[in-house]
Amino acid sequence: MANENVVIMLGSPRKKGNSAILAQKTADGIKSSGAESESFFIHDMNIKPCRACDKCQEAIDKYCVINDDMQILYPKLVQAHALVIAGPVYWFTVSAQTKLFIDRCYALGTPKEHNLKGKRIGIIMTYGDPDPFSSGAVNALRTFQDAFNYIGAHIVDMVYGSAMDAGEISANKEVMEKAFDLGKKLVKASHF
């Protein structure tokens, strides 16, 4: 199991924000299960928007024709046993950073060999308003469900909670525990 790995994508502009704290807790759960994780802070990466050229759907040997940091991520995502996407709800849906990443995963939804079909996915979200409906968290959840269903990936679990100020989520022991358990579930799920 030592060579099992999980890629964690951090979709917040805050390196030490609430979703990053939960993602670290998930990484701890992954490590406790004997696997490894690697995290990427999307905000600091050069990820351009999808051009809607559909070249990724035609090319056999390419992920995407756009030469940016997704070229670093594509092989890591395909080789990983699981993927975690962590981020805040901004303006009633996923953050812009997260949306850029999700849009570019379109290149991994093809029938070719390098895709995300069957990949285990973990979702982590934080939002300010305690109500998941008025905060827009349900919109973000639906975005993840629709996108990963389309490309044939399986969402193992979603961990989400309300916290306004950076670091505040640490006080929510129940959500912190769920984040740790998510890491264990993702590793366990890959052993069907």
Total tally of structural domains belonging to the chain? 1
The torsion angles phi and psi of 63, rounded to 5 degrees, stand at: -80, -55
Domain of residue 61: give its range: 5-189
What pLDDT band is residue 125 in, cutting at 50, 70 and 90? very high
Portion of the chain with pLDDT greater than 90, in percent: 71
pLDDT for residue 132: 83
Distance CA 185, CA 84 (A): 12
Query: Which of 20-29, 38-47, 49-58, 120-129 shows the lowest mean pLDDT across its residues?
Result: 49-58
Tokens 């704290």 locate to 21
pLDDT for residue 192: 39
Instruction: Answer for the pair 82, 121: CB distance below 8 angstroms, yes or no.
Output: yes
Distance CA 151, CA 134 (A): 28
pLDDT for residue 7: 98
The pTM assigned to this predicted structure is: 0.93
Inform me whether the pLDDT recorded for 96 exceeds 60: yes
3-state secondary structure 106-147: HHHCCCCCCCCCCCEEEEEEEECCCCCCCCCHHHHHHHHHHH
Distance CA 56, CA 97 (A): 21
CATH code at position 47:
3.40.50.360
